[in-house]
Chain A
Amino acid sequence: MNSFQATNLLLKSDPFDFSPEAQALFRESFKEMALHHYKAHPFFKRVFDDAGLQPSQIHSEDDMSHVPPIMVHLFKEKEFISVPEKDIVLTLTSSGTGGQKSQQRLDQMSLDNVKLLAYKIHERLGLTGQENVNYLCFTYDPKVASDLGTAFTDELLTSFTGRNEVYYAIQWNKIKNDFELNSDGVVETLKRFEKEGKPVRILGFPAFLYKILKDYKIKLKLPPLSWVQTGGGWKNLANEEIPKHEFRRFIFDSLGIPEENCRDLFGMVEHGIPYVDCTLGNMHIPNYARVYVRSPYDLSILPEGETGLLHFICSYNHSYPCISILSTDYGSVRKCSCGLDGQILELKGRAGVSKHKGCAMKASELLK
């Protein structure tokens, strides 16, 4: 048992309990973890000092809103660690579509915490079970890409049920020395899963699934209790992205999976909290996190419904001082009518790297 008692308690609590006690527990959890990073990492300390805030001064939700962030790109560019190197048990990286890969460095406590909170959230949303399920993962085969966050996530997600077969669609091609999407393999697997009659869960990048179903004009009826759980965004196929409700309808038409069983998930390697769709297709913010929407100009908090930069706060991570990060995603927060407490997160696109105005070179061009 570690000394982070509030955190231990928090992660055992209902992720969508927003009672005053539950909120206070999150604050305590954050406070104890912030205190640890404040002592352990000079830059984390600097950021708090610049904001004129000590972790010990956090008492209320209003205090939480004054917690300063570290901008997420620094985690891609710099090495961050708040524990001895020897304590790190897993290093995860992002898929790196923007050219730079971010990291998450987990000690045992943090790894246990992130697994636990993910399970708790999925459990609460009815996405866990005991039955044996056939998995089709549109992600990298974890046997090859064990340190990629998405592969870790899918590995994690497939652990929430009994597993029959797991098929990874992005496979290592020895000849090309690179990963590639095995489209034919996916189609063949889907047809086979349909015949087997066991529930199917499809996980991973929505763009790949959409493209294959569309290109191969798939019309199947997958067994009952089948789910699609997408995550990771549309990546390099952003120009083909369709609205979520259209995607859910398309899945139903192609695979016979009910729309309410088609859930999207938003997560960031650096942050670790999964924001999972409810039945209405809205990503809910659990009490394991706080999300503020800030103006990029002065970092002031914007009213509910307004779009700004998303500031994510969590408390589970002991090894990596990423418990308060300013993302480069635009988004907003609002309430949802599905019945769950708390707010939902709405993503509005990537921030930064403005459209090219002219002949002065921008970083994005040099990174290509």
Chain B
Amino acid sequence: MKFDIEQILTEAHSKQKILANTPIELILDVLHNLGQAWKEGMPYYKEALQKLPNEISFSKEMIEETLKIIPELLNKNTLKQRLNAELGDYKILDTFQKTSNFDGPLKAFPLGTILHVSAGNVFLGCIDSLLMGLITKNISLLKLSSQNQMFPELFQRSFLEIDREKILCDKFYILHWKGGDQKFEAPLKEKVNAILAWGGEEMLNSYSQGLGKGVRLLDFGPKISIQVLSQKGFEQTPIEKLASAIARDVCLWDQQACASSQNLFIEEGIDEKKLIQALSKAFEDFPLSRGEIDQDEQVEILKEEFRGRYSETMEGGAFSKGKNYLIHLETKPLLRPSPLNRSLIIKRYKNLLDLSLQLSPFSFYLQSCGYALSSDEKESVLGELGRIGMKRFAPMGQVMDGLVGAPHDGRHVLRDLVSLVGDETKLELSSFLVEVANQVPFYQKSMKGKNSSILENFPFCDASILSKHPIFEDQSFIKKDLEPGYVFSSGGTSGKSKYAFYSEKEFQETASMLAQGFKAQGLKPGQTVANLFAAGNLWSSFLAVDKALALCGAIQLPIGALGEVSTIISYLKRFQPQAVFGLPSLLVNYANYCQSQNITLTIPHVFYAGEHISKGAKDFLNQVWQTKKFSSAGYASVDAGPIAYQCEHCGQGEHHLFSKQVYMELDGEEAVVTSLFRKCMPIIRYKTGDRVTMINETCPCGSLEPKFILQGRLDGQINIWSCRLLIADIEKSFSDLKLTIPLYQLRLKTIKSGEALIEKLVIIVENFKGDKTTEEKIKRTIYENSRDVKATHTLDTILSMIELKWVPENTIERVARTGKIKLILDER
């Protein structure tokens, strides 16, 4: 192959910018389409299958199995998964993106031009290396191994045909020269940005010298892999299955891969004869035949055969050999490389310490470990072997498969092929406001001529404004170029339907914020939790809680709220969750059902949201379910997103503000919030309708987030009799009288009394056996508790203006869609 390496380097460098600016989606599309051209039976597949057996030693069946991997390797989703696993979010290859665990946005920049020095062992390896270069937007120079030239060239040909737009096909070069030729290697080592080298130590040493300034060498030297079989692992797995698994990890690619097991370490006490018999059969039965072996490889196998025979005769070892395999149980300790090509050396170990001592001298070379261990051994064995240098573990039989995005030799290679650059600005209010004013029609209009970096210049927003702009017909609140995401309904109890849009990322952020609150309330990983919010109907709660619980590491029971109550209760009874999430009125319904059916159920922790939970409801749930702890699932609204959370030290109504994501101001007593992370449908200065009081104290939980007390809804007061009667006063009255009243409704009526129209408060109490005496007591206590009423009216007046009605369970009218009870019906 004749080429001018200097010219290629110049050309490659000149293409760096073009590739760096190519959208990753486009790159992945090209690769995906290329993968489709390599599907089984397609012309390139057929050609490779026809020609490869003449070039490489693998059997035709093995080649076929390997070729079948290509479409999956190039599959767009697989590639995204791989990038996401290593970079957090594949889109950071295009733009600065917020990723988890870092507050600011990150972008991954390609290194520039990469030289790939491929090994010839598994012919797909060089393509995978090239792929890693291209998906990280690096111009790639692929040096072929002398054993493997036809396939990469065929691959390049297929690239040229599929990639007509030349998105990628001219962004890599396939080259060959004799290893060590300084005419090629010296300028490359000097001028590329990184070298990705796979293979033997001699080659790696050569590439480690003479590197230009800043040239990154990613070397993947020869490695050795093993298997570990404990006595318990042996006993717990059917012998045929175990032997097949061991054979698979040895036979695939004829042991030429670094993950191929060369030694099987077995714990003393295992029936060795039985194991070797089963292994011999498994090797014989392995469906893919062994490839051709050259004379030198055969000599190495022959040597092992003599070792085996000697060991069996003189040392108490064992030996078995078939047409395509060799097994040697050697009594001498310590790991020892096998002659490969399906030659397995078995070693005994006494205990974990002994195993560790046998492997640790070779720690630099250790790579994969296939294991068959009992569950109680796994942690200690993997812990110790990982400590001495093992880089990868997988159950026996799965070592050669690998998970997408797994690290290689202890590092994430893709991450090494990019520079991760952070924009270390925090979510910042004024830049957010400017961006919103520029991009969102409603604010473009309302902020015209005003300084959009000042919050106070923005108009307040509230439910009524949002309901005038439903996003299915009016996109005033939506920024251009909508990202994938969710539309949620936020209407219902308080007026006309409204809709909120969350991008996927915003919703993930929402979940992450909620999870922070759940954890702060004591939710622990591994706890069983029932999600009793209703799913569907454009509601957000079920989904948000689902995602947040996943982040908490909970075991979820996604029961929902739309099934029969009996079914819901049967699930709770069966799985005994440690916590439930749900709407208070529905939870009370479920508890009612339990009580009426004499069902004993214990639910220690209730997370509520969606409506106020009354003291009565808490007492009732405590009585029926023995609930000890009630936690707010978070102070949030669909329109504004999460606003605050409670920690275990928060008293009644106390919350921590999510101050990194939410800016809160007060309009009088009312909380007004602006969510900085919601950029697709930003809501500026949203009037929550909630009364809050800021608290200036340090919380024992250690959080520095500002705290406030949520005092209730601004409309949680009734203007009646020319006074302000607080809902809280009514609830306090129930509580003072030690009455467990879980559900009630207040109706305000105007009735004629003679000539006069008088205002009457009717308190409808559900599922409570009340009488005239109780009614009298409640009226009197309300009078005593309401400072305003007491100051304005006499007790007698008020006694005549309040009426209590006792109604059966489930008879207060519910909102059809949500099941919520409207607390106040103003019928005046």
A interface residues with partner B (beta carbon < 8 Å): 42-43, 46-47, 50, 70-71, 73-74, 77-78, 296-297, 309, 326, 328, 330, 351-363, 365-366, 368
Q: Which residue of B lies closest to A349 (CB)?
A: B296
B681-703 interface bits toward A, Cβ cutoff 8 Å, 1 = contact, 0 = none: 00000000000000000000000
User: A351 to chain B: which residues have CB within 8 Å?
Assistant: 295-296, 299
B279-303 interface bits toward A, Cβ cutoff 8 Å, 1 = contact, 0 = none: 0000000000000001111111011
User: A78 to chain B: which residues have CB within 8 Å?
Assistant: 310, 314
User: B680 to chain A: which residues have CB within 8 Å?
Assistant: none
Interface residue stretch chosen among B81-89, B168-176, B256-264, B663-671:
B256-264
Q: Which of B202, B298, B336 contacts A296 (CB 8 A)?
A: B298
Query: Once the chains bind, are B306 and A353 in contact (CB under 8 Å)?
Result: no
Q: Which residue of A lies closest to B305 (CB)?
A: A71
CB distance from B617 to the nearest CB of A (A): 64
Residue of B224, B225, B255 with highest tally of chain A CB at under 10 A: B224
Cα A150 to Cα B553 with chains together (Å)? 70
Cα A352 to Cα B310 with chains together (Å)? 19
Query: Once the chains bind, are A360 and B258 in contact (CB under 8 Å)?
Result: yes
Cα A77 to Cα B314 with chains together (Å)? 13
Cα A362 to Cα B200 with chains together (Å)? 9
Interface class of chain A by DSSP: mixed
Cα A352 to Cα B299 with chains together (Å)? 5
Residue of B225, B257, B299, B337 with highest tally of chain A CB at under 10 A: B299
Query: Once the chains bind, are B220 and A359 in contact (CB under 8 Å)?
Result: yes
B interface residues with partner A (beta carbon < 8 Å): 119-122, 125, 145, 147, 198-203, 220-225, 255-258, 260, 262, 294-300, 302-303, 306-307, 309-310, 313-314, 336-337, 339-340, 362, 365
Known: A365-B201, A368-B201. A360 touches B306 (CB 8 A): no
CB distance from A330 to the nearest CB of B (A): 8
Cα A133 to Cα B256 with chains together (Å)? 55
Cα A78 to Cα B122 with chains together (Å)? 35
Cα A99 to Cα B121 with chains together (Å)? 25
Query: Once the chains bind, are B362 and A71 in contact (CB under 8 Å)?
Result: no
User: B221 to chain A: which residues have CB within 8 Å?
Assistant: 359
Cα A352 to Cα B221 with chains together (Å)? 21
User: B306 to chain A: which residues have CB within 8 Å?
Assistant: 70-71, 73-74, 326
Q: Which residue of A lies closest to B57 (CB)?
A: A357
Q: Which of B223, B224, B299 contacts A309 (CB 8 A)?
A: B299
Query: Once the chains bind, are B295 and A296 in contact (CB under 8 Å)?
Result: yes
CB distance from B200 to the nearest CB of A (A): 4
18 new A-B pairs (CB below 8 Å) besides A43-B309, A50-B309, A358-B258?
Answer: A71-B302, A71-B306, A74-B307, A77-B307, A328-B299, A351-B295, A352-B303, A354-B294, A354-B297, A357-B256, A358-B120, A358-B257, A359-B222, A360-B224, A360-B256, A361-B222, A361-B365, A363-B300
User: B201 to chain A: which residues have CB within 8 Å?
Assistant: 365, 368
CB distance from B52 to the nearest CB of A (A): 15
Report 23 cross-chain contacts, Cβ distance below 8 Å, ordered by A residue.
A42-B314, A43-B310, A43-B313, A46-B313, A71-B302, A71-B306, A73-B303, A326-B302, A326-B306, A351-B296, A352-B299, A352-B300, A353-B300, A354-B297, A357-B119, A358-B120, A359-B198, A359-B199, A360-B223, A360-B262, A363-B300, A363-B337, A365-B337
User: B300 to chain A: which residues have CB within 8 Å?
Assistant: 352-354, 363
Residue of A42, A309, A365 with highest tally of chain B CB at under 10 A: A365
User: B310 to chain A: which residues have CB within 8 Å?
Assistant: 43, 74, 78
Q: Which residue of B lies closest to A307 (CB)?
A: B295
CB distance from B768 to the nearest CB of A (A): 75
Query: Once the chains bind, are A362 and B294 in contact (CB under 8 Å)?
Result: no
User: B224 to chain A: which residues have CB within 8 Å?
Assistant: 360-361, 366
CB distance from B246 to the nearest CB of A (A): 17
CB distance from B121 to the nearest CB of A (A): 2
User: A71 to chain B: which residues have CB within 8 Å?
Assistant: 302-303, 306
Q: Which of A46, A50, A356, A360 contacts B255 (CB 8 A)?
A: A360
Cα A273 to Cα B201 with chains together (Å)? 37
CB distance from A166 to the nearest CB of B (A): 38
Query: Once the chains bind, are B296 and A354 in contact (CB under 8 Å)?
Result: yes
Query: Once the chains bind, are A296 and B222 in contact (CB under 8 Å)?
Result: no
CB distance from B503 to the nearest CB of A (A): 42
CB distance from A355 to the nearest CB of B (A): 7
Query: Once the chains bind, are B298 and A355 in contact (CB under 8 Å)?
Result: no
